[in-house]
Structure 1
Amino acid sequence: MTQTMEAGGVREGELLWTPRPEYAAASNVAKFVDWLRSEKGVELADYNELHRWSVSDIEGFWSSIWAYFDVQSDTPYTSVIDRKVMPGARWFDGSRVNYAEHLLRHEGDGRKTAFHHLSETRELAQMSWGELGDKVRIVATQLRALGIRPGDRIVSYMPNVPETAIAAMATIAIGAVWSSAAPEFGVKTVIERFSQIEPKLLFVADGYRFAGKDFSREQETQEIVSRLPTLEHVVWLPYLNPEAKSPVKARPWSELLDHPAVPRESFRFERVPCDHPIWVVFSSGTTGLPKAIVHSHVGVLLEHLKLMHFHINLKPGSVMFFYTTTGWMMWNLLLAALLTGASAVLYDGSPMHPGPDFLWQLAARTRCTSFGASPTFVQMMEKAGLRPGESHDLSALEGVLVSGSPSTPETFAWFYRHVKQDLWVTSQSGGTEICSGFVGAAPTLPVYAGEIQTRMLGMDVRALSDDGKEVIDEVGELCVKSPFPSMPIYFLKDEGGKRYQESYFEVFPGIWRHGDFIKINSRGGCYIYGRSDSTLNRFGVRIGTAEIYRCVEQLPEIADSLVVCVELPGGKFFMPMFVKLNPGSQLDGKLESEIARRLRNDCSPRHVPDRVYAVEAIPYTLTGKKMEVPVRKLLVGMPLEKAASRDAMMNPAAIDWYVKFAQESADYSWRVA
């Protein structure tokens, strides 16, 4: 049921949709509540009561998830959680599980579709559960034959195609550790990640196609391989050009697969202890190398079973699409759709090529039930004047998942006006650090404009003021007060866990501070207001400022730099860069082009700022940290006395230029200055 909206606009918090009673009753979360009542004697009237129970009785909730989904383990666990502390809690100690085994548990009827897949180089096709299972087992068996053992690291520089998914699942199946970089990443960005991992094997493709243009990765492959001394094996996928020969010593993907099928009953998944790593994902901070975040099989498995069933409501027969690359944790979540028996749609290419409605064509052709993209995608649709509900058959579509950056009331309203009226439009927010969400959706709750429906089950999320007090209906820091399974088990190259501690627990000891501004209203709805720290959020992808500085400050003309990303009205973003020039240099078109070229090639197109400004000085704190957060606060209208303390500055006068800049452009005219 959808509320009527005036064509002129929609108010924040306006009721837009209420689930039909039969839809809510048939949801996975409603069935779980019924099971808790009949099997556990836990009486819960509604979702809000379920959430309160899930964070007040941690052992009861997570042990119920284990039992409800019949998690397979070689040995019984001795405790759900050994101690309720962050960081350091051990989950399901004594158990031995394998995540990939659970991804393939729905292989039963091998003829049903596991993947729909399409790219700018390949036509739309399907891969059955049987074909997927066969290929995963063959690749896993060959990896073992190559000497890959549990705990060894395997990395990928491949696009979003079935081969990458198969490689990931095979890696995880044998207890090896997976990590992925998107092929649009430059060599420097890849090496900064993979050198921390010290991989034994690399999966690599010859290139990719985006918006009709081919991008070879043969030269990049040579450089990457030459700078990873621990590599023993390279597997080469001629994807862009089927005739492409590897520029390094490698075995072809086809050779890896050219072996007899391995029967399900004879294949052994490597069930691993509770603290065994599953993958390494990267989330960049403001200083140093990107954080190499390690998760466990058991933590991710429990979290993803909960997330995909209860907060995305996937079931056998569902079809999930989310526009993502292999360098973002949303790719990991897309594969997690298999845990529910649903199909996943893999797409590699531009969301706007050959036309702006391309992804809606894909949704119609795959009978997509859950469609996911970023708010930026909606802005592109709006600009193009699209009305997908009129031009495409979206009758199978049940829900929309908008993630990657804060959504506005207008984002929600666009879906109801131009896609479908009876639609569960959801916004969800979490992070690479947990490979999941903190706040998100529930199919039994109504949808309000611009509002994230609820806090997710098992996530004890609070909005805290600067002095650590919980606030309601006020903006505060997004914090989590109780442990949850998908917390990182550690960071690589982080002696004594110092960086892990500083990243999330330095401000409020023992409480996870995520770095987002959040408002939780009295009914439990949530609003995310962007980053409270200095990690950039560009087009739904987080970017570490350190990656940009390391690239730009190598230019001989630039002495220092500072970059921020500002959320603007209407859900838009503006990312300005401020540079201090060396004597004799000037900021002209040639230098601006070189900055953009360096960032695009060494990092990615998302790292390129919208505008570059020359300044006399970059402001620093007394401890030598660039004042990114205060500058961003100034640009969104916060007065200096609230944004920063001059007493804490190395050079107090350096901030004056930014104060004046913000004051003179309070109407956001500096976006195009």
Structure 2
Amino acid sequence: MTNADCLWQPSAARASSSNMARFHRLTTGRHGLADDDIAGLARWSVADPEGFWSALWDFSSIVGEKGDRVILPGAHITETRFFPDARLNYAETVLRDPDDRLALIACRDDGSSRRLTRRALHALVSRIAQALRAEGIGVGDRVAAIVINDVESIASYLACAAIGAVWASCSPDFGPEAAADRLAQIEPKLLLAVPNYSYAGKHIEIGASIRAVAAAPSITRIVTFGAPAGDYGKPALALEDWLAPFPEAPIAYERLPFDAPMAILFSSGTTGKPKGIVHRAGGLLLKHMSEHLLHCDLKPEDTLFYFTTCGWMMWNWQISGLAAGATLVSFDGSPFHPDKTHLPDLIDREKITIFGTSAKYIDSLAKGGCTPRTTHDLASLRAVLSTGSPLIPSSYDYIYHDWKADLHLASISGGTDICGCFLGGNPRLPVYRGEMQGAILGLDVTTLDPDTGREAAPGEAGELVCRNAHPSMPLGFWNDPDGSRYRAAYFEPWPEIWRHGDRLERTSHGGFVIQGRSDTTLNPGGVRIGTAELYRQVEAISEIEEAIAVGQNWQGDQRIVLFVKLREGAALDSGLIDIIRKRIRSGASPRHVPSKIIAVPAIPRTRSGKISEIAVRDTIHGRKINNSGALANPEDLDHYRDLPQLRD
């Protein structure tokens, strides 16, 4: 790439006033780093992990007792312990200073919203915490939830954290089997649930999912956000009735060790039953503080939004923004209801400064001809965050041309596995087209050649790895007492190096480009090809709404099959097929050109919005889909079965 690919450069004043610059200046005198040595700050954060994480604790003003020791090495990287003498409570930092500043604006797709001050949120959390304790729920007990992204779910999450209980949630669009596969396995004592919800003007009952989870023998009570709607097989009580005996009172926070379990998140489940990934309270808090404060430059005067459901790690991530003193805007429903401008409308209405969403949403608006620059003010908007899948280069162009020229666009990437990011934005660095700006501070992220294990040179693709321990590595998997499943998932073939499963390329700017999942890497003729390389070319073609590429075993080798969902009115004729192949050949390489291009009416996705290449790959080979309940639209796999085009 050349300097012409630089799409945004922070002003000197903006860069120097950022939280990252302030943090840098605090460490300059102690560690000999010049104020403008941004790369040096990154190197120091990895070379001196004790100094970095200790300084971050202080900079974040974590409430609690830090203790004298910062890192206690273990026999294996997974056994490394951070702040082994610390005592803290996640919610105590998040809910500090309960005053009349606005904490939460909870919005729905019908246009309604509710506003809570920090004082009102604190009061609601206090009452829920008391009710939980009255149910006999305490430190280490699990609470399951099938809920929407709204006031009650956020307050309940914080109440569980306040008393040391462990939270696990999924969104209400999960079917009965998918919800039970996740929540029943952790043996929760209590189930919180919405009896119904609305999406794009439709009213949807979820009684079957509630009954499926409530069948777990460990559950003794169901609390519904709204009146119970039927017989769930266990005693059920509406939230307002459950809370009635408990007035507002000071919260009795349980200060626990840094490693106390706080949340269980679940893998997508597309390759088997979803794994319960157990996260520690201190790890989530400190990791999220690094990302919110340093990489997003979140400040008390900011208003933070992330489009997410309660079944995605970005829901947990967004809540931590309250610890920075910012106002949080939550949203539940369809971002396209009543029309495609709903979320840009929300930016203007609520003066959102940091707006987070998925790469798919940005691409959908671009292809739908939405140009907020001409229809909205966007004066408050300072940063746009994107994750869920790689942000294609044309989407960078779209944001800077059709949204706003002066904003920080940060494509970020991590996962449920760490409930945070490996790669993200940097408010002090330029944004280059198609690139993530760099690794998150404190994480030794690079790319290794999968065959030799050597560090790949810029421009070479390899495995995304993290070579050091960090606080939000999970405690482990649920029901994995010896840690063998955990180590097998991330530490093979390199026993002391986290292998994330993404195919990654470093750039000459020090940035990164993700080329897709390495476990779905295409391999025609023994040449590894990342699927994202194809998508960047194909999805720039106006007739194509989205695409999915998989490898088909064929005549002792593998061939690339590209499935495309066309925009309304488009047809996959010989002319369009020729355009697709020429675009891929010139924009990627001749080896990327698919052997088959097939039109389909829908692309299967997980419930967190990621396209499911594994499910499509297994379907075209006639293999069993291990957990179709992990898909948002499993019925769409029928379009890929027994296709005559794949027989020749």
What's 1:148 paired with?
137
**Does residue 91 of structure 2 align to residue 117 of structure 1?**
no
Which residue of the other structure, out of 472, 475, 487, is the alignment partner of 2:461?
A: 475
- Structure 1: 5+ residue runs without aligned partners? 1-9, 537-563, 580-595, 626-656, 665-673
What is the CA–CA distance in structure 2 between the aligned matches of 1:418 and 1:122, rounded to whole Å?
A: 24
Aligned to 2:83, what secondary structure does the other structure show?
Answer: strand
Q: Partner of 2:548 in structure 1? A: 574
Counterpart contact for 1:135–1:257, Cα < 8 Å: no
1:48 aligns with 2:39: yes
Contact 2:109 2:333 in 1 (8 A): yes
1:98 to 66, 89, 108: 89
8 Å contact kept, 1:62–1:80: no
Match of 2:24 in 1: 33
Correspondence list, 1:357-436, <5 A: 357-436=341-420
Letter in 1 for 2:59: Y
Say whether the 8 Å CA contact 1:99–1:301 is kept in structure 2: yes
3-state SS, counterpart of residue 93 of structure 1 = coil
The CA distance in 1 between the partners of 2:353 and 2:54, in whole Å, is: 30
Report the equivalent of 1:64: 55
User: TM-score of the superposition, structure 2-length normalised?
Assistant: 0.81
1:326 aligns with 2:315: no
Deviations 1:186-237 (CA, angstroms, capped at 9, x unpaired) = 11111111122110011010111111111111232223212x1100221111
Q: In structure 1, the residue corresponding to 2:28 is in which secondary structure?
A: helix
TM-score normalised according to structure 1 size: 0.78
* CA RMSD in angstroms, aligned pairs only: 3.3
- Paired with 2:306 and 2:354, the residues of 1 have a C-alpha distance of 8
Aligned counterpart in structure 2 of residue 88 of structure 1, from 52, 73, 79:
79
One-letter amino acid of the structure 1 residue matched with residue 24 of structure 2: V
Question: Corresponding residue for 1:555?
Answer: none
Residues 288/331 of structure 1: CA separation in 2 closer, same or farther (3 Å cut) = same
1:233 aligns with 2:221: yes
Change (3 A) 1:501 1:285: farther
Query: Per the alignment, in what secondary structure is the counterpart of residue 78 of structure 2?
Result: coil
Aligned residue among 327, 335, 352 for 2:336: 352
Task: Select which of 475, 487, 491 maps to 1:501.
Answer: 487
Could you say if the C-alpha distance between residues 49 and 610 of structure 1 is closer, same or farther in structure 2, counting changes exceeding 3 Å? closer
Amino acid at match of 1:481: R
1:166 alignment partner AA: A
SS at match of 2:20: helix
Distance change >3 Å, CA 617–CA 209, structure 1 → 2: closer
Q: How many residues align?
A: 566
2:462 maps to a residue whose letter is G
Cα drift, residue 605 of structure 1: 9.3
Distance verdict in 2 for CA 1:609–1:46, change over 3 Å = closer
2:506 is matched with: 520
| Preserved contact between residue 109 and residue 335 of structure 2 (Cα < 8 Å) | no
Q: 1:201 to 1:436 in 2, by over 3 A?
A: same
Partners of 1:259 and 1:363 in 2: CA distance:
39
Structure 2 runs not aligned, ≥5 long:
523-530, 540-545, 554-600, 627-641
SS of aligned partner of 2:180: helix
**1:239-638 equivalences in 2 (<5 Å):** 244=229, 247=232, 248-259=234-245, 261-264=247-250, 267-284=251-268, 287-466=271-450, 467-473=452-458, 474-534=460-520, 568=535, 569-570=537-538, 572-574=546-548
Query: Per the alignment, do residues 224 and 616 of structure 1 end up closer, same or farther by CA in structure 2, a change over 3 Å counting?
Result: closer
Q: Deviations over 1:370-420 (max 9, x none)?
A: 111112112211122111122112100000001110011111110111111
Counterpart CA distance in 2 for 1:604 and 1:421 is 29
Query: Once the 2 structures are TM-superposed, how far is the Cα of residue 81 of structure 1 from its aligned partner?
Result: 3.3
1:204 maps to a residue whose letter is: A
Question: Where do residues 198-213 of structure 1 align in structure 2 (5 Å cutoff)?
Answer: 198-213=187-202
8 Å CA contact retained: 1:185, 1:604? no
Instruction: State the 1:613 CA deviation.
Output: 9.7
> Contact conserved, 1:11 with 1:409, CA < 8 A, in 2?
no
- 3-state SS, counterpart of residue 495 of structure 1: coil
Q: How far apart in 2 are the matches of 1:179 and 1:479?
A: 27
Deviation at 1:661?
4.9
For residues 165 and 505 of structure 2, the distance between their equivalents in structure 1, rounded to whole angstroms, comes to: 40
| Segments ≥4 residues shifted beyond 6 Å | 10-13, 575-579, 602-616
Separation in structure 1 between the aligned mates of residue 393 and residue 309 of structure 2, nearest angstrom: 26
State the percentage of identical aligned residues: 36
Matched residues in 2 for 1:392 and 1:366: separation?
Answer: 13
